[in-house]
């Protein structure tokens, strides 16, 4: 039980960055009931069209939101890292409007929607943190519209790498120097609106130009500033005040 309570600690820490949480807020948050659930590779955490009775907070592993088109293609809408909610909007909206899939093995805290809303109702600061969370999600969606709508393949991928590195570095202790890209090139293609073949060529191009280094799935950034330029990356949209650009 102690380790279970620990699971939400990371959430408390993350939310504390943009919202002041009192000791009472923190303990109320940590007292949230939830069930821990494991997901295998490609398993669905949320399905489009499903009635929603709970929200999933990612504890381990990665997950992405996606929509499937009638012609069979897939668009990935966002990629999530541990301590992030993958469907907080479902605390209020009655039906899932997109899918959420586990990248590899992952674990999530499944929190009943009613308890989450009760907590929000009784604790203004938590409510605010929840709302801000969904607003930052929305801001990231907007940036993704820009990314797939108006940037060429090279910039798109550079931008996605920058975002991911940045979000991971805010999360942990690493500077945006390197990280493990947990997704396949096909998933990267679905996230950027390209094909896997072309993603491969672009990655090789970025590597050839000294903008990234690849070793297995580990990506490092020999020249972070130049990659930022190529990706036209400005972290403002992430609304993470604790890190300067």
Q: Which residues are at the interface with a copy of itself (CB under 8 A)?
A: 48-49, 65, 67, 69-71, 73-75, 77, 89, 92-93, 95, 97-98, 121, 124, 127-128, 131-132, 134-139, 141-146, 148-151, 190, 192-193, 232, 236-237, 239
CB atoms within 10 A of CB 64: 22
Q: Which residues are at the interface with DNA (CB under 7 A)?
A: 152-154, 184-186, 193-198, 200-201, 203-204, 214, 216-217
Judged by beta carbon distances under 5 to 8 A according to partner kind, the member of a copy of itself, DNA, none in contact with residue 208 is none
Going across the sheet that includes 178-180, the strands are: 178-180, 218-220, 213-215
Judged by beta carbon distances under 5 to 8 A according to partner kind, the member of a copy of itself, DNA, none in contact with residue 153 is DNA
Which CB, 97 or 143, lies closer to DNA? 143
Which CB, 20 or 41, lies closer to DNA? 41
Give Cβ neighbours of residue 57 (< 8 Å, ≥ 6 apart): 7, 8, 11, 34, 83, 84, 85, 86, 108, 109, 111
Give Cβ neighbours of residue 210 (< 8 Å, ≥ 6 apart): 222, 223
Pairing status of strand 106-112 against strand 54-60 = antiparallel
Q: Where are the alpha helices (DSSP H) in the chain?
A: 2-7, 9-16, 23-30, 113-122, 124-150, 153-171, 185-192, 196-208, 224-231
- In whole angstroms, the minimum distance from the beta carbon of 85 to a copy of itself comes to 13
Judge contact between 38 and 106, C-beta under 8 A: yes
- In whole angstroms, the minimum distance from the beta carbon of 230 to a copy of itself comes to 11
- In whole angstroms, the minimum distance from the beta carbon of 164 to a copy of itself comes to 16
Judged by beta carbon distances under 5 to 8 A according to partner kind, the member of a copy of itself, DNA, none in contact with residue 6 is none
- In whole angstroms, the minimum distance from the beta carbon of 14 to a copy of itself comes to 16
- In whole angstroms, the minimum distance from the beta carbon of 138 to a copy of itself comes to 4
Judged by beta carbon distances under 5 to 8 A according to partner kind, the member of DNA, a copy of itself, none in contact with residue 243 is none
Q: What are phi and psi of 74, to 5 degrees?
A: -130, 140
Judged by beta carbon distances under 5 to 8 A according to partner kind, the member of DNA, a copy of itself, none in contact with residue 81 is none
- In whole angstroms, the minimum distance from the beta carbon of 140 to DNA comes to 21
Judged by beta carbon distances under 5 to 8 A according to partner kind, the member of DNA, a copy of itself, none in contact with residue 139 is a copy of itself
Distance CA 162, CA 110 (A): 30
């Amino acid at each position: 039980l102690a380790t279970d309570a620990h699971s939400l600690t990371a959430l408390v820490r993350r939310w504390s960055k943009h919202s002041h949480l009192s000791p009472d807020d923190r303990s109320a948050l940590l007292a949230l009931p939830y069930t821990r659930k494991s997901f295998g590779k490609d398993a669905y955490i949320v399905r489009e069209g499903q009635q929603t009775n709970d929200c999933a907070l990612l504890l381990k592993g990665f997950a992405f939101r996606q929509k499937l088109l009638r012609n069979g293609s897939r668009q990935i809408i966002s990629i999530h890292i541990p301590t992030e909610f993958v469907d907080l909007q479902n605390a209020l909206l009655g039906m899932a409007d997109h899918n959420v899939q586990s990248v590899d093995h992952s674990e999530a805290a499944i929190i009943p929607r009613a308890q989450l809303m009760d907590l929000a109702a009784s604790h203004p600061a938590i409510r605010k943190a929840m709302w801000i969370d969904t607003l930052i999600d929305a801001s990231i969606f907007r940036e993704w519209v820009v990314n797939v709508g108006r940037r060429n393949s090279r910039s798109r991928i550079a931008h996605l790498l920058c975002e991911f590195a940045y979000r991971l570095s805010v999360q942990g202790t690493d500077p945006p120097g390197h990280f493990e890209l947990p997704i396949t090139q096909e998933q990267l293609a679905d996230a950027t609106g390209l094909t896997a073949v072309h993603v491969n060529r672009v990655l090789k191009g970025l590597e050839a130009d000294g903008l990234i280094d690849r070793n297995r799935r580990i990506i490092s950034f020999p020249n972070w500033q130049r990659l930022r330029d190529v990706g036209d990356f400005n972290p403002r949209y992430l609304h993470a005040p604790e890190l300067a650009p």
